[in-house]
Structure formats: C-alpha cells, structure tokens
Chains A and B, each alone.
Chain A
Amino acid sequence: MSIAEANNHGGRPTGPAAPLPAGVAHSNAQAPASAVAGRSAFQPGRSTSAPTPAGAGRKRRSVHREGLEAGKRSTRTILWILLAASLILYGFPFLYLLFTSFKTPIDTIAVPPTILPKEWTLQNYANALGRSGVPASFINSIQTAVISTLLSLVLSVPAAYGITRYKTRSGRIFIMAALVTRMVPPVAIGIPLASMMASVGLADTPIALSIAHTTISLPLSIWLMSSFFEAVPKDLEEAATVDGCSRLGALWRVVIPVVSGGIAVTAIFAFLASWNEFLFALLMTAIRSQTTPVVIANFQTQFGLDWGSMTALAAVYSIPVILLTLLLQRKIVAGMTLGAVKG
C-alpha cells in the first residue's frame, strides 16, 4: 500500500521514479504492489516512472557511440589522459596562488620558488585582513554589487518583458542599442560618468559605482531576460487573463514565477560583473567607497611588493564566488549558453 500512496503524491516529477537507480528502473517492478491499490493509483505511477527506463536505455547505448562520442576504448583512454593533463594545467595557477598564500612572507619571494609552502602559516591572511581599509573594502564591494544587481534586475525584467511581448520596431532597435553599449570602452565613459556623479553629490559612494556597474550589466541582463521570456508560452499568460487576472496580475503571478530561474541567472551575472569590475572602481572611488579589487591593485604600489598579503587577499576575494558559482553551475551554464547560442 505504501507504494500506491507514494504514487498518489506522485504528480510531481520528483515522485517515486526518481530515487531508483537508472539501470533497475523498470515500471514493471512496481506493478505488482500498486496493482493492489486499483487503477486510479496505478495510472500516475506509470506516468511518472515511464520516462526513466527510456532514459536509462539511451544512456546505456551512448556509451558505445552517439554522434561525436569516441567509440574505441583505446581512443577514449588517450582522450581521458589528455583531459586530465589539460585540467591540471588549467587548475594549477589558482592552486599555486592558494599555496603561496599559506607560505611565510619571506618564502613567497624565495629564489628559486617552491610550489608547496615549506611551512604552512596563516600569517599572510592576518597581515592582509588586518590592514586598514581592507575589511571596509569588502563591505563596499558587497554593497556595490548588491545595489547594482537589484538595479539591473528592476530595469531589465520589465524591459525584456516589454520587448518580447510587444514585438515592436522600437524594441528591436533597443536591443541593438544595448548590444552597441557593450562595445563602449569603459575607459571612454568612466571620466564623464565620474564628473556627472560628482555634480549631483554622489562622488565616491557605493551608489555612484553601482550605477556605473549597471551600465555594464544591464545590456547583458536585458539580453538574457529576453531569451528567458521568449521561452514562456504566450498561452500561459492568456489563460491567466481569461481566468480573470489583470495583465499586470498575470505577469506577477504567472510569468514571473515561471522565469524565476532565469532571474536568478541574470542576478548572478550582474553580481559577478560588479564584484570583479576594476576600471570604474579605480576611476570613481577614492577612500570611502573603494572596492576590494582596487585595494588589491594598490598593494603593489602602496606597500612595495607584498606578494604574500596580496595572494591571501586575492584568495579570500575569489573563493566565495567560485564556491557559489560551482554550487549554482547548472543555472549559470544555462544562462551563458542561452545568451550566446540563441543571441
């Protein structure tokens, strides 16, 4: 009876079929148990577990060869070795940064350099984080990135919706204009932008910098959001309007929840764009609103060549976003490829 009950909840795709290992998943295996529960319970059970065997079958066949996949075992082994080699080469620089950050300050510039620290220490971290202005710069970076992300979403979601729903000439021109914006070298508009901010009393504030960062992320956000809205069937919205929703209500209650994954992707991109940006931050901030990239760059001139602290700060600044994005990688991959392949 327990399986039948599970099947009754099984309207969701994550129902009873999901936990079964792909190779064993035969809908027949469930049949004897759920047959007791009668036909009504049997039906949903079939519909949820039916796709699994098909998927498993395809997976098994693909081991042999599907499209471009390599067939021969020897070829595959060579390819795996190639992959491992390139991944090691590719990952090594950042690992070296991490190792260096744990060296003693003297060892960081030892000749000849070693890959692993001779003794592991947190001294560089203490030095870097204890330096005046460093903790404040983290707060500035977070503030700027959050404001810029919100601004970019508030502006891009309605704009993208308008462009995809009412396909007008001005919409198409706007999309092109947004693309052209991408080509503007930041160095060209940084100075005029900074003097604009100064004239409205926003000089050296996170708000001014986040506005500057939004000029970078907004065009991309609009492109991304447009492709997400494009994927929402128009019928869905029309059905909601027929059911008595206002246009705005349909947007808010039906369309927005459907594209919420897309909004998350857009938010991550806007956040990353601001978090890692350097040139605007260099031009538009002085002491009060300096972000961490500027502080990292300043380590070079201000304090001579303190490589140890620099690597420690760089590690502290990069690791949270690397972890965050690895956790959310599915969504990010979807976003990147959507933007480029469909665009």
Chain B
Amino acid sequence: MTPAALFLAVFVAYPLFRLISDSFFKISPLVGGPREFVGLDNYVRAFTSPDFISAGWRTFAYTLTVVTLEFALGLGMALLFTTLGRKSQVWRTLFLYPLMIAPIVAGLLWKFLMIDNFGLLGTLLHQAGILQDPNQIGWLSNPDIVLFSVAVPDIWLTTSFMCLVLFAGLQNIPGDLIEAARLDGARAPSLLFRIILPLLRPVIAVALVVRGIDAARAFDTILIQTNGGPQSASETMSLLVYRTMIRFGDPGLASAMGTIYLLAMLAIAFVAVTTIWRPGKDT
C-alpha cells in the first residue's frame, strides 16, 4: 500500500499542490520567468471573467446532456437485452465495441460525419427527405447547437458502459419480485418506475457519478471537433483552462481556474452521491 500511496502523493498530490500554489502567483509563461505573489487576484480575475462563467455553464449543460441521454439510451438498451434474455448475448458483446475506441478517434469520426459540405449526416437526412438542403443544419458551425453536436461522440462512446452497468444491475433483481408484481396486475410502466428503478438506485448512482465526472472533464472529443469554437460556443472548462495555460500563457490564472473547477466537481459529486445514493436509507 505504501508504494502506491507514495506514487499518488508524488505524481498527483504534489502537482495538485503546485497547481494551488501557482494560483496565488502572477507567472510569466517563460520557463524560469519571474513569479510575483498576487494573493487572490487570479481568483478575482477568474470570477469576473465572462469567459470563465460561460465556460462553467457550458460544462454544466454539456455534462447534463451527455449523462441524461446516455442514461436514457443505456437503460433502454439494458432493458432490451434483459427482456430478450440469453439469446442476445452475442449482440451484447458487439454493442461494447465503442468502449475500446480512443476518444480522439471518435471525435474525428463524428466530425467527419457532421462536417459541412461532405458530412454524411446532412446528406442522409437530405436524401431521407427530412432536410431540404444537406447543409441546412450546421452541426459544428452553428454556435447555438454546437455544444450538443460535440456531445454526440461522447454519448456514442460510453452509452455502452451505462448499458453494461445497468444490465448487470438488472440481473441482480430477483425474478420472483417481478413475477409477483405481474400477478398483482402491474403493467410495464409501473413495473419500471415503481420496482425496477428504485431497486437499481445504487447502481444508477454509481454509474451517473462516474460518467458525470468523466463528462465534466471532457477534452479530447471537443478539442478535435471544434477546438472550442465557433466563437467559443463549445468551450468547456477543460478547454478554457488549457487555452489559458498554453495559448494565452497565463499559468497563474489557469491554475486558479483549475482549482475552482476541481473544487466545484468535488462538491457536485459529493452532493450527487449523498442525494441519489443515500446509502443505508433504501437498503
């Protein structure tokens, strides 16, 4: 246990400590450049920066979109596999394949599908008669919808994970219970909302929290698709911190933003775990 603890201390805790301490300095981007202690100035600048506030909201909206859709689709697939029973096993395996694909590849692939002019998605919708013009929807170029477009690869990649976890949870629900409810005349919707979902609660909580954390940290897929654009309409927190650090060369401000970001995630995860999971209350 000690070596692992030591490793995490050196390579995670120490950089974190550096991050937090850097956030109190004004740092020149040059290596070995001057450092000047500025107290909470970076935090003040972060909170008064409209970029930071809107990136925060965008991260929130992005995470909510990704997790909600993934949960709905994942639950649907898990129920489908469960109701089909053992014969669907092979298909269950095939359904897992996106999990092995690098996010960067997924981002590229969907960019290729949604890009203006030669993107396949617009063309197919046009041929199906839904759109008048293949370029009618600028998936990645319209600032109003781009945040949802960049979420698609993320949803595509990890719905499988959600499905897998929920499927495993469904297997643990005793069949007798369902049988009994059916005998009492429960129909499918009430079966789902009164029995299945409450029983799945702990599993759902873990899956939502795990995926929520990942989605809030999303970087690869967005960077490769739009680089935060157009007009920063898809710039989430990770991208803003990255740009502030690398492009604008302001490590002090970036560190302050990173620290706030981390604290916010810890707080939200804590609230989520205590409210959804409620360990001990349901079991």
A180 CB–B CB distance under 8 Å: yes
- Flag if A311 contacts B112 (CB, 8 Å): yes
Contact B16 A191 (CB under 8 A): no
**Most A CB within 10 A of own CB, among B7, B16, B98:** B7
- Alpha-carbon distance between A193 and B261 when the two chains are bound, in angstroms: 18
Indicate which residue in A90, A97, A163, A341 contacts B165 across the interface (CB closer than 8 Å): A341
> Out of B7, B176, B238, which one reaches A218, CB within 8 Å?
B7
Known: A91-B97, A318-B102. A188 touches B258 (CB 8 A): yes
Chain A residues with CB below 8 A from B61, complex form: none
Cα-based distance from A113 to B127 in the complex (angstroms): 11
Minimum CB–CB distance for B163 against chain A, Å = 10
Q: Is B140 an interface residue (CB 8 A)?
A: no
Q: Is the CB of B83 within 8 A of A109?
A: no
Check A340 against B210 for contact (C-beta < 8 Å).
yes
Q: Are B120 and A67 in contact, with the CB atoms below 8 A?
A: no
CA distance A311 to B93 in the complex (A): 24
User: Contacts A87-B95, A310-B108, A337-B168; is A158 near B16 (CB within 8 Å)?
Assistant: no
Contacts of B242 in A (CB 8 A): 187, 279
Could you tell me the distance between the alpha carbons of A278 and B14 in the complex, rounded to whole angstroms? 22
Tell me whether A232 is interfacial, beta carbon within 8 Å: no
Known contacts A83-B88, A318-B100; is-contact A184 B262 (Cβ 8 Å)? yes
Decide if A162 is an interface residue (CB 8 Å cutoff). Answer: yes
Nearest CB in chain B: distance from A209 CB, A: 12
A187 pairs with B258, CB closer than 8 A: yes
Of B19, B102, B165, B213, the contact of A276 (CB 8 Å cutoff): B102
- Contact stretch, chosen from B33-41, B47-55, B141-149, B216-224: B216-224
Instruction: Tell me the chain B residues, 248-270 only, with Cβ under 8 Å from chain A.
Output: 251, 254-255, 258-259, 261-262, 265-266, 269
B130 at the interface (CB under 8 A from A): no
Q: For the complex, give the distance between the alpha carbons of A110 and B117 in Å.
A: 9
How many whole Å from B247's CB to the nearest CB in chain A? 13
For residue B201, give the distance in angstroms from its CB to the closest CB of chain A.
12
Please, which residues of chain A bring their CB within 8 A of the CB of B223? Answer: 297
- A-B contact count, CB below 8 Å? 248
A185-B265 contact in complex given A66-B85, A212-B11, A322-B97, C-beta closer than 8 Å: yes
What is the total number of residues of chain A having a CB less than 8 Å from a CB of chain B? 90
Structural contact, B219 and A187, CB atoms closer than 8 A = yes
- Residues of the B chain whose Cβ atoms lie less than 8 Å from the Cβ of A91: 94, 97
Task: Give bound CA distance, A218 to B4, whole Å.
Answer: 8
The complex places the Cα of A160 from the Cα of B254 at a distance, in Å, of 35
A45 at interface by CB-CB < 8 Å: no
Q: Write out the residue numbers on chain A whose beta carbons fall within 8 Å of the beta carbon of B98.
A: 90, 94
Which of A158, A171, A219, A275 makes the CB contact (< 8 A) with B102?
A275
State the CA gap A132–B5 with chains docked (Å): 40
B245 at the interface (CB under 8 A from A): yes
B123 within 8 A of A: yes
The verdict on A196 contacting chain B, using a C-beta distance below 8 Å, is yes
In the complex, the answer to whether A83 meets B91 with C-beta atoms within 8 Å is yes
B113 interface contact, C-beta 8 A: yes
CA A186 to CA B216, docked complex, whole Å: 11
Q: How far is the CA of A214 from the CA of B3 in the complex (A)?
A: 13
Q: Given A79-B80, A110-B118, A337-B165: A317 and B262 within 8 A (CB)?
A: no
List B contacts of A109 (CB < 8 A). 117-118
Q: Smallest CB–CB gap between B7 and chain A, Å?
A: 5
Q: Which 10 A-B pairs have the closest CB atoms?
A: A67-B175, A159-B4, A188-B258, A276-B102, A162-B1, A192-B15, A337-B168, A192-B18, A189-B15, A70-B83
Q: Please name 29 pairs of A and B residues whose Cβ atoms are closer than 8 Å in the assembled complex, sorted by A.
A: A68-B170, A68-B178, A70-B84, A83-B80, A90-B156, A91-B97, A94-B97, A108-B118, A109-B117, A111-B117, A113-B118, A155-B7, A156-B4, A158-B3, A183-B269, A184-B12, A185-B238, A185-B265, A189-B19, A211-B11, A214-B7, A278-B220, A293-B105, A293-B220, A310-B108, A326-B93, A329-B96, A332-B96, A340-B207
Known contacts A68-B196, A189-B19, A337-B165, then 8 further A-B pairs from the complex at CB < 8 Å, ordered by chain A residue: A109-B117, A112-B118, A115-B120, A177-B8, A181-B12, A186-B219, A187-B241, A340-B168
